[in-house]
A and B are shown apart, each in its own frame.
Chain A
Amino acid sequence: MALHLDIVTPEKKVFSAPVDNVYLPGADGEIGVLPAHAGLVTALKPGELRYLHNGQVVTLAVGSGFAEVTQTKVVVLTDMALGEAEIDEQTAEAAIKRAEEKLANVDHSMDAEEVAYLQGIISRSAAAIHFKRKHRG
């Protein structure tokens, strides 16, 4: 039984093909998914996603989002999904800096959504940098 993996970001469909297994960065820790997994909807936190495709392990840095798991299918909806080559540390660091500056100017009690959004950018970019460094070193 095959497990079909779809990774979708607002910009494009990053990946869509059958895989042997998937590891997701779930909100409560890493989740490993094999074919015939029970139905599951989970929140994702920024981190590392791995899947085994044609005998090769592929890793991607992903942002926050959701994953829907059914017996034959995994759909990952996230705001970022980048391979190692696509991550530019400087851009990511600049994004963190910008978001932190904005965060300092936002009224935390008034604008909870804005704060969450900015924190999302920070944690997502931090995850990307972490991922890049780990795979280079």
Chain B
Amino acid sequence: MANLRDIRRRIKSVKNTAQITRAMQLVAAAKMKKAQDQALAGREYAAHLTQVLFDIRRNFTEESHPLLEHRQGGRELVLVISTDKGLCGPLNTNLAKAVRAKTSPDAHFVTVGRKLRTMCEKLGKKVIADFTVKDPVPFSQTRPIAKFVTQQFLEGNYDKVSIAFTSFVNTLRQEPEVVTLLPIQGHRKGEEQAFESIGKGFSVEEHVNDPARDFTFEPNPSEVLASILPLYVNYEVFQAHVESRASEHSARMVAMKSATDNAKKFIKELTLEYNKLRQGAITAELLEITTAMKAME
């Protein structure tokens, strides 16, 4: 049984921990709001862009643009977006699991965020580049990343580029996802729902035999395609970052909240035990005094 001083010391240290986790919770909550707004605002644009691309896909074949080209061969590049800091619950572990399950074992990696980079290094995976992205996510910092992976794809170093990120569902739920970025999917007929849009909650409408979707192009089809495809890649990468960031702050907020709650519960228990002991000590003391008095009579 612990003595009074030990318990007092423990209460103090738990209180300190609670204070820290509570501060972290408040910081994460403030950042979370911003990041969530950014993620939700960007979804609309990404979804519309996907829809436009999907609508016009019948006007093009794989040969229309190098970013559409499906290649044989399984050299895969995975862009992994994790967090720089820990203490955000099972976020990174879940993402790591999804990456292991859904990518080929000899894939190479491009990482954003320190957590999964160290994991990749530990597992002996090849990391060919690493980027850092500020918070909140500026578009100007995700563009170089999109450019880098596009270049790797166009130069023929890899046949496929995937992107692994955590999709933001709500404050309590974040889902790890691995989607194909390049070659841009979905222009193939009969490939249903191959068009994966980053940022769920919008489904792509199918209009196969709608004559209104027989588009004319201005200035001309290849020029439109040449500017819309890189834009699409840029935005998918950007949106993935924004979603990951929103997930990170949400997960951290929730993790820190439960840590604070646990600490508070623990303090309560310890205080109860402390008081019991204290009471016991007083009772024992009183008993001693009365016994002594009785003996003196």
Contacts and interface: CB of A to CB of B under 8 A. Distances in A.
Given A39-B213, A40-B216, A113-B230, A68 B45 contact: no
Nearest to A27: B219
Interface stretch (B120-128, B172-180, B221-229, B264-272): B221-229
Contacts of A75: 48, 51-52
B41 interface: yes
Interface string B35-58: 000000110110011011001100
Given A6-B48, A10-B45, A113-B230, A42 B212 contact: no
A11 B216 contact: no
Nearest to A111: B147
Given A10-B139, A75-B52, A117-B143, A39 B215 contact: yes
B53 to A, nearest CB: 10
A70 B219 contact: no
A51 interface: no
Contacts of B44: 8, 12-13
A8 B52 contact: no
B218 A70 contact: no
Contacts, number: 76
A8 B212 CA distance: 22
A113 B224 contact: no
Contacts of A106: none
Given A6-B48, A12-B41, A38 B238 contact: no
B235 interface: yes
Chain B interface mostly: helix
A47 interface: no
A10 B41 contact: yes
Contacts of A31: 218
Contact of B217 (A41, A72, A77): A41
Nearest to A42: B218
Nearest to B146: A113
A71 interface: yes
A43 interface: yes
B45 A39 contact: no
Nearest to A78: B45
Interface string A47-88: 000000000000000000010101110010100000000000
A8 B219 contact: no
Interface in B20-45: 41-42, 44-45
B41 A11 contact: yes
A117 B44 CA distance: 22
Contacts of B228: 66
Contacts of A40: 215-218
B42 A10 contact: yes
Contacts of A70: 212-213
Contacts of B56: 41, 68
A36 B224 CA distance: 22
A77 B45 contact: yes
Nearest to A13: B44
Contacts of A38: 212, 216
Contacts of B49: 77
Contacts of B55: 41, 68
B106 interface: no
B218 A27 contact: yes
A70 B211 CA distance: 10
B273 interface: no
B243 to A, nearest CB: 13
B261 interface: no
B130 interface: no
Nearest to B49: A77
A119 interface: no
19 contacts: A8-B44, A8-B48, A11-B42, A27-B218, A27-B223, A28-B218, A39-B216, A41-B55, A41-B56, A41-B216, A42-B217, A42-B224, A68-B51, A68-B52, A71-B212, A75-B48, A77-B48, A77-B49, A77-B52
Given A26-B218, A113-B147, 15 more contacts: A6-B48, A10-B45, A13-B41, A13-B44, A39-B215, A41-B52, A41-B56, A41-B215, A41-B217, A42-B218, A66-B228, A75-B52, A77-B48, A77-B49, A77-B52
